[in-house]
Amino acid sequence: MWHIYLPIAQHSVLLPVIIGLGFLVGLLSGLFGVGGGFLMTPLLIMIGIPPTVAAASDSNQIVAASASGTYAHYRLGNVDFKMGIYLLIGGVLGGTGGVQIIKVLRQLGNADFLIQITYVVMLAVVGSYMFMESLQSLRSSKSEDTTPAKQKQSIYARLIGSLPWQTRFKRSGIVLSPVVPLVLGGFVGILAAIMGVGGGFIMVPIMIYLLRMPMHVVVGTSLFQILFTCINVTIMQAYSNRTVDFVLALLLLVGSTIGAQVGAKLSKRLKADQLKIFLASIVLIVMVKMLAGLLLHPHFLLSYYGGD
């Protein structure tokens, strides 16, 4: 009775395990505004779901989790729709370009390794920077922390300040050229397409450090952008590869939507720096796990095609 059969994965799974996994990843989604694909897909593979089905079904469940999370953050006034739309346009254009890049890489050979090493480097840079910066910020006193921030932003701030079409993003409380979110969204889209993930874990640090958006608006806006990215991925995967397992996605999303709501509430209680340190720690743990996978002797020299 506790088992359920997945029609596309063609595998029987334990109900509490799948719902529990969904809750855990939904919690992260609500807390940090990340889709959680970078964490969920490896966990599903570990319990025996074929990698292609795991990735596609995860996108399907992220649609529900991010819809639920976006709604919760919208109610709290944490979604900058204007910024989200610019990032989304950039992301779609970048993602389309990224798909072409990955085709060329595969023809050249060793694309899989290049993807994994890009992943490790990105995770290491983003995770370490966030961790160090948040730690410093937590340690420094309130009176001290305004001066160095102003000094740091000088060159970058002058550069983006010189761009045309400066627009006010009311919800984020910043003035910026739309070129910046379009270009940065495009960059994340390229990386997301190459790595095969939604890109939330790259988008969030970019919003914090390069767009200088407030942390609570970052989470809601990131979820808004992820929602549309994953709708596109789900339909494309179902149509082209027939790898979306609806039963798996439904079970995951029951857990994840509840987890996302709990996460959104928790995020209001935590300080921005605490949130950043938690996210940085998770990013660094995933990076170490991936690096270990590249350096340690694998248990099996054969792996199913489409897997890692």
Partner 1 sequence: MLNKKITAIFITVAFILCGGIALAAESTTLKIIPAKLGIGTFFAGEDVALSGSLPSDGDIIIEVIGPQENAKFNIKGRVGPFWMNRAKVVLQNVPFLYVLLLPGEKKWEQLPPSLELGVQHLKQDIGIIPESLDREKIFEQFIQLKRFEHLYLQKENTIHYSRVSQGGKIFTATFHFPSSTTPGEYRFATTLLQADRVVKRSVHPFQVEEVGVIKTIHELAYHQELIYGILCVVIALFVGAVIGLVFVRAAAH
Cα-trace Rg, the chain = 19
| 305: exposed, middle or buried (Cβ count in 10 Å: 0-12, 13-18, 19+) | exposed
Q: How far is the CB of 172 from partner 1 (least distance, A)?
A: 23
Q: Which amino acid is at 244?
A: V
Window contacting partner 1 (CB under 8 A); options: 135-143, 170-178, 210-218, 253-261 = 253-261
Q: What six digits make up the tokens of 257?
A: 């939507």
Q: Is 108 in the site for partner 1 (CB under 8 A)?
A: no
Contact string (CB under 8 A) for partner 1, positions 211-240, x = contact? --------------------x--xxxxxxx
Measured from the CB atom, the residue of 108 and 155 that comes closer to partner 1 is 108
CA 12/CA 49 separation, integer angstroms: 9
By CB under 8 A, tell whether 289 contacts partner 1: no
- Candidate list 45, 63, 102, 180; residue touching partner 1; CB under 8 A: 63
Distance CA(133)–CA(301), nearest Å, equals: 40
Q: At which residue do the structure tokens 């346009």 appear? A: 89
Rounded CA-CA distance 267/283 in Å is 18
* Contact letters for partner 1, residues 67-106 (x by CB under 8 A): xx--xx--x-------------------------------
> Coil, strand or helix: which one is 6?
strand
The stretch among 154-162, 170-178, 198-206, 255-263 that binds partner 1 (CB under 8 A) is 255-263
- Residue 141 half-sphere exposure, CB side, CA atoms within 13 Å? 2
Residues forming the site for partner 1 (CB under 8 A): 1-5, 7-8, 10-13, 48, 60-61, 63-68, 71-72, 75, 110, 112-113, 116-117, 231, 234-240, 242, 244, 246-247, 249-250, 253-254, 257-258, 261, 265, 293-307
